Copies of this chain bind each other. A is one copy, B any other.
């Protein structure tokens, strides 16, 4: 099974691809999330692995827009723990490190580690897995790198310390999206969709009332400015349904009461690693 991911081998998206499609998954690395969606539409990959939400950073807003823009279907969800490891080439000890590279967001999540090791200078680079790949290829001006356990294994770096992120409650939720002929049967317990409400007081309340009356149990509600219409909002909703019949009736009623309703798909509910 080929899975398109944003980033390179060893990224957290790669770990998600393994969780979604098994350890034998073959990844198709893409530079941008737009390229990822294109790879699935163009058939270069069977599924796309799309981060949609992080427990610390919130929604991956670019992907909410892309889900709306592309006609792909969400068929699965998975959670991946963002565990950060400081790594170096074999033989280098933690005490020898004078610099460690990663993406600025990952560096900021390791404040405690850097304050305990003032001799190690943080170095900003493009991505976490790339910092390890470049280090191990001998192409880097830094001595260590910070990224996933998977990247350390793939690039044969040594893990000097694992779990150096400040907050261990750091999880990312991913969707597997795929191209389907025709409509997807909506028979799985969890559904994701988006809609736009009329701009009048109470319009969102009315839409949520429809969902509530059809037994929908909201697990997430996200508002997102509509690209090209600053400060107008589209609502992204994830919810559980009691059964397929009530789900269909709910969608029919929602379609009549909102604009631009898009059902991304129904899928089995996954559990986050904690909580």
Residue numbers of A with Cβ under 8 A of B are 55-59, 61-62, 103-104, 124-126, 167, 169, 171, 201-202, 204-205, 208-209, 211-212, 215-225, 227-233, 235, 272, 274-275
Contacts and interface: CB of A to CB of B under 8 A. Distances in A.
Contact of A272 (B62, B103, B230): B230
A204 B219 CA distance: 11
Nearest to A206: B212
Contacts of A171: 230
Q: Which of A57, A61, A169, A202 has the most C-beta atoms of chain B within 10 angstroms of its own C-beta?
A: A202
B222 A223 contact: yes
Consensus secondary structure, chain A interface: mixed
Contact of A217 (B201, B223, B228): B201
Nearest 10 interchain pairs by C-beta: A230-B275, A58-B61, A202-B212, A205-B208, A201-B217, A205-B212, A221-B223, A55-B230, A124-B124, A55-B225
15 contacts: A55-B225, A55-B231, A58-B61, A104-B124, A104-B126, A201-B218, A204-B208, A204-B221, A205-B208, A205-B212, A208-B208, A221-B221, A230-B274, A231-B275, A232-B275
